Amino acid sequence: MKNFNLSFYNGKKVLVTGHTGFKGTWLCRLLLDAGAEVTGYSLEPPTEPSIFDLTHMGSQMHSVIGDIRDLDKLMEVFRETQPEIVLHLAAQPIVRESYKNPVYTYETNVMGTVNILECIRQTESVKSFLNVTTDKVYHNREWEWGYRENDPLDGFDPYSNSKSCSELVTHSYKNSFFGDRDTRISTARAGNVIGGGDFAADRIIPDCIRAAMEEKPVQVRNPHSTRPFQHVLEPLYAYLMIAALQYEDQKYEGYYNVGPGDEDCVTTGELVELFCEAWGEGQTWENHFAGGPHEANFLKLDCSRLRSVFEWKPAWGVRKAVEKTVEWTKAWQSGEDVNFIMKKQIQSFLDQMK
């Protein structure tokens, strides 16, 4: 890894949007353990239970409950906290939900990005901004090789398309307003993440966990779709690396795919099989394909740019990611301290990254 250590964040003022979500909570845990002064801006936790509440994360940081669509409130938080680094994760992140609520999806994912960038434009303290989007921003041709950062952006469904728009908004603001500013701007297009504490609806691993806890077979609606699955710590570490290194040197800003190697781009059916093996207890799954709204069938990222620029490589493969997810879930199920298991897994991950 190119000259990066999480100790960079010690004493840094960091603003995280979407901090009450699954990825946001894990990100705040990493930042707090590194000694950062963390402010979060987000809606209330999106699920019940939620990893944010289970970890009591709100009491460990400056947590602001607010809507990313509320520019005035967001601007007030920027003025009060004067962040140096902004990590934008707030989003409506579910494909099937975007078909039900397209207007809300676009308002949140597009105008939310506009609002964040407008606040950064008016806040001189910000030196590094990272907009987290998705692997689904690309015009999907269902081909077997990975999409590169210079491939056309044009997501199909409202979620994917709104994230494509979020990328374009970022490009426009960067070109229009930051040419003579010492503020570095990047986007990270991440693949599907799994890990302990994800309780979202319409996501395959949370569906697996709910079924296992109810001692029922997992019902899989599309076992043949291929996705780039990775443990949540993989992209979070990459986000922090990009934001830190571009803070110190503008040559690192840009647009980056963040995903696993080809060997960890597996079908949903293969992922569920790995889950059943890791869970044990005779867990099984069933194919319940019944059509539904369009979702990409084959999706893979080419992450060679991230590997080349940062000498980056994933620490855990998909099997290990599933095993760590099951480990966290069973610890929570048995009443163990979830903060302790998070810190234990983070340390294991960081040891692997050395």
Please say whether the beta carbons of 209 and 218 come within 8 A.
Answer: no
pLDDT tens for the chain, residues 1 to 354: 667 999 999 999 999 999 999 999 999 999 999 999 999 999 999 999 999 999 999 999 999 999 999 999 999 999 999 999 999 999 998 888 999 999 999 999 999 999 999 999 999 999 999 999 998 899 888 766 788 999 999 989 999 999 999 999 999 999 999 999 999 999 999 988 999 999 998 899 999 999 999 999 999 988 888 888 999 999 999 999 999 999 999 999 999 999 988 788 889 999 999 999 999 999 999 997 665 565 556 677 899 999 999 999 899 999 999 999 999 999 999 999 999 999 999 999 999 987
Residue 339 falls inside a structural domain: no
Tell me, yes or no, whether 88 lies in a domain: yes
What is the reported pTM?
0.95
Q: Which residues, at least 6 apart from 330, have a Cβ–Cβ distance to it below 8 Å?
A: none
Please indicate, yes or no, if residue 276 is contained in any of the structural domains: no
Helix, strand, or coil here: 38?
strand
Assign residue 259 a region (left: φ > 0; alpha: ψ between -120 and 50; beta: otherwise): beta
* Domain region containing 176: 9-195+229-262+296-317
pLDDT value of position 323: 98
Q: Is 209 part of any domain?
A: no
Measured between alpha carbons, how far is 198 from 196 in angstroms, rounded to an integer? 6
Residue 290 has what pLDDT?
Answer: 62
Report the C-alpha gap between 24 and 32 in whole angstroms.
Answer: 12
For residue 303, what pLDDT is reported?
Answer: 93
CATH number of the domain residue 151 falls in? 3.40.50.720
pLDDT at 295: 56
Q: Is residue 146 part of a domain?
A: yes
98 located within any domain = yes
Write out the two tokens for 82: 């004067």
Angle at 328 between CA 325 and CA 259, to 5 degrees: 30
**Parallel/antiparallel/unpaired status of strands 285-287 and 255-258:** unpaired
Chain centroid to CA 299: how far? Answer: 17
Which of 194-233 are b and which e, b meaning 16 or more Cβ less than 10 Å from the residue's Cβ?
Answer: bbbbbbbeebbbbbbbebbeeeeebebbbbebbbbbbbbb
Whether residue 3 lies inside any domain: the answer is no
Query: Of 144, 138, 126, 230, whose CA–CA distance to 183 is shortest?
Result: 126
Q: Is residue 310 domain-resident? A: yes
Tell me how many domains the chain contains: 1
Residue 270 structure tokens: 């293969």
Q: What is the pLDDT of residue 260?
A: 87
